[in-house]
Structure 1
Amino acid sequence: MSTDLEALFQAFNATVGRLAMSDAEFGETFRQMMAALVRFDYVVVFAYRGKERPIDLYSTFDPKEHIIFVTLYQAGPYLLDPFYHTAHERRAGVFRMRELAPDRFFSSEYYRTYYVQTGLAEEIGFFVTADDDITIVLSLMRREKTGPFPSSDFALLKKAEPLIASMVRHYWAGLGSRFDAQLHSRGGGGRRRKAGERPRRLNALPTKRLTADRSPCSLNLNSTVSMAR
């Protein structure tokens, strides 16, 4: 697709003079900017800190899709996600899932127990390192029927990365306090998990069906978390 300069400039205009924006406001601005550059089906933004439960900052899923892409993901499968491991390593840049995934990704536990249910053809992520050991990952996703991102799209996204990273660090600053509040609300007393300390064992959740034409895949989160240790 060709670049929609009018839509791109309109998205930029929404940030002019704005010292702060809500998660939804900046997430929508990011979505509009990306939509002016490339074609995709979904956007999701997670913030990661250590092995803590990632924070969902923004997404474009409908309620049923949100269950599989966010709710179940946060419950345990994120610990096996190549995007999570890249964020944990504090790597910055734009990466395709297939370049970060292990050689046998399609036979991996993460793929078989979780990722196959998403129905995605490809996922590209902007990895932005921030203060307090936090990495923010902004993912663009394409479904199987849409197909993978063309190489020209990936090259264009890499050119946009420095600007996106600067905007993310500005509008999503100060997330450390939100992670601390999350730990406190989940019984952690505001204490960050020490390096090497194992996350608490999670209870298994029932399998969810993403679409009517896709058979549900068994999702055993106890097994998932055990493998991540």
Structure 2
Amino acid sequence: MSEPRNRVLLADDHPMMREGLRKLLEPDYEVVGEATDGPALLVAAERLRPDLIITDISMPGIDGIEATRRLRGIVPRARILILSIHTDPTWVRGAFDAGAHGYLSKTSAPEEIETAVREVLKGRFYVSSEVTQALVGTMRELPVERHEGRPEASGEVLTPRELDIVRLVGKGLGNKRIAQTLGVSVTTVRTHLSRVYDKLGPGSRLELALYAAQAGETVM
């Protein structure tokens, strides 16, 4: 007996976009519904209880960011992947602040969309390469120790262990897997992350992933 397929809900006000996504995903996923605007998305999500919601930002009624914020209360277990023409950092940060788990540009190749869907359904964050480039360009450099042992001129330095953890977060690993990879306890990982937050000020794992990208690591 085959395992049940993950249920996906699509939201976009352009019929061709929804049709293209449906054709791309249906071989591996159950596309349970489509919505053409924000209010319809909220109603459909509550009724259908999908595992994954793929939504645009620019939609009539309620935009995708506000819809994402409301969806976190309506279907808290659903994963949310934004697919948008907007790659400006303001939009991306707004989406993740609202509770999104992934962000793709509409210019992303079909293969990247498939990768993003898989990663987000695994419980990881995903940010497309195009979006990452736009975001990283707006961020200050990581205050890491130089090879000769001298810190950067400004900001507190990250220790080698803290930087290791940042890079693993950037690859999408959760605290338990980071602990297993480094041979330390989950409590130790949490302690290091707390210190990183104190030094860098980022408020989410997404921010750490982007810092990792700036340090030369592949994000997601």
User: Same-fold call, TM > 0.5?
Assistant: no
User: What's the TM-score, normalizing by structure 2?
Assistant: 0.24
Q: Bigger radius of gyration, 1 or 2?
A: 2
User: What's the TM-score, normalizing by structure 1?
Assistant: 0.23
More helix by share: 2
